[in-house]
């Protein structure tokens, strides 16, 4: 069974040269597969070109190009957020294999909301995402869910979100469920 891997966040400097990235500068993110997980490098355009001409370079698992945007300072939150992104982060930290389906559905929800951007992955059982604002990389196992599985996974996500969110009124949670579960994908998007 595949596990989720922890990968460091986007760097603000080129890891080959040590030079800080300038705002708007194009840089390359490279993932390498290791026996125990993945390793990430963020390289300037020059370092990327030098790497592509190196015939003895380590094989790449996945790579993509981005424009560097310095992270905005986090806004002060009066109460801790408990939403789909926060839940995904907690479930990734727990590494509990029983939450593989839930992690997958949360990642797809965040992709639809354009919070997570899909990145290339040669492994069909693994999905690679980059967080749109922080540049963090998320590796999610694709459990190969069928349509018949979605209703139960959506119910699990809804109950986790409702149970963890003290601010959600009970009527709003109860009103999000349909008796025939025909709208489960739409409900999951709005969870």
In a domain, 76, yes or no: no
In a domain, 130, yes or no: yes
Boundary-marking domain end, from 43, 70, 97: 70
Whether residues 169 and 128 share a domain: the answer is yes
pLDDT at position 161 is 74
Whether residues 102 and 26 share a domain: the answer is no
In a domain, 75, yes or no: no
| Structure-model confidence comparison of residues 187 and 7, the more confident one | 7
State yes or no: pLDDT of 82 exceeds 60: no
pLDDT at position 158 is 80
The average pLDDT across 65-84 equals: 71
Res. 13 pLDDT band, cuts 50 70 90 = very high
- Of 36-50, 80-94, 120-134, 142-156, least confident by mean pLDDT is 80-94
Whether residues 20 and 60 share a domain: the answer is yes
Whether residues 138 and 177 share a domain: the answer is yes
Burial 70-93 (b: 16+ CB within 10 A, else e): eeeeeeeeeeeebebbebbeebbe
Whether residues 88 and 59 share a domain: the answer is no
Q: What is the pLDDT of residues 172-185, one digit of tens each?
A: 333 333 334 333 33
pLDDT at position 32 is 87
Whether residues 181 and 136 share a domain: the answer is yes
In a domain, 4, yes or no: no
Provide the domain count of the chain: 2
User: Alpha-carbon distance 157 to 109, whole Å?
Assistant: 11
- Domain holding 62, by residue range, is 9-70
Share of the chain above pLDDT 70, in %: 76
- Of 51-65, 111-125, 150-164, least confident by mean pLDDT is 150-164
Whether residues 46 and 125 share a domain: the answer is no
Q: Model pTM?
A: 0.52
Boundary-marking domain end, from 70, 100, 117: 70
Segments in the chain forming alpha helices (H): 45-53, 84-94, 100-112, 147-164, 170-175, 184-190
Res. 112 pLDDT band, cuts 50 70 90 = very high
Whether residues 105 and 139 share a domain: the answer is yes
């Amino acid at each position: 069974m595949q596990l989720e891997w922890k990968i460091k966040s986007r760097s603000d400097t080129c890891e080959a040269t040590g030079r800080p990235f300038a705002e708007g500068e194009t840089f390359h993110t490279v993932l390498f597969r290791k026996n125990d997980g993945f390793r990430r490098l963020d390289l300037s355009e020059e370092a990327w070109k030098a790497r592509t001409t190196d015939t003895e370079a380590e094989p790449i698992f996945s790579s993509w190009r981005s424009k560097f945007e310095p992270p905005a300072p986090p806004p002060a939150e009066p109460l801790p957020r408990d939403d789909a992104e926060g839940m995904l982060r907690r479930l990734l930290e727990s590494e509990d294999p029983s939450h593989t389906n839930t992690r997958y559905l949360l990642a797809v929800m965040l992709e639809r909301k354009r919070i997570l951007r899909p990145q290339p992955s040669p492994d069909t059982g693994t999905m690679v995402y980059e967080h749109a604002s922080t540049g963090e990389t998320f590796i999610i196992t694709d459990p190969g869910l069928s349509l018949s599985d979605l209703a139960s996974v959506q119910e699990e996500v809804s109950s986790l979100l409702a149970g963890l969110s003290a601010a959600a009124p009970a009527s709003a949670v109860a009103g999000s469920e349909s008796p025939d579960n025909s709208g489960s994908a739409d409900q999951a998007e709005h969870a």
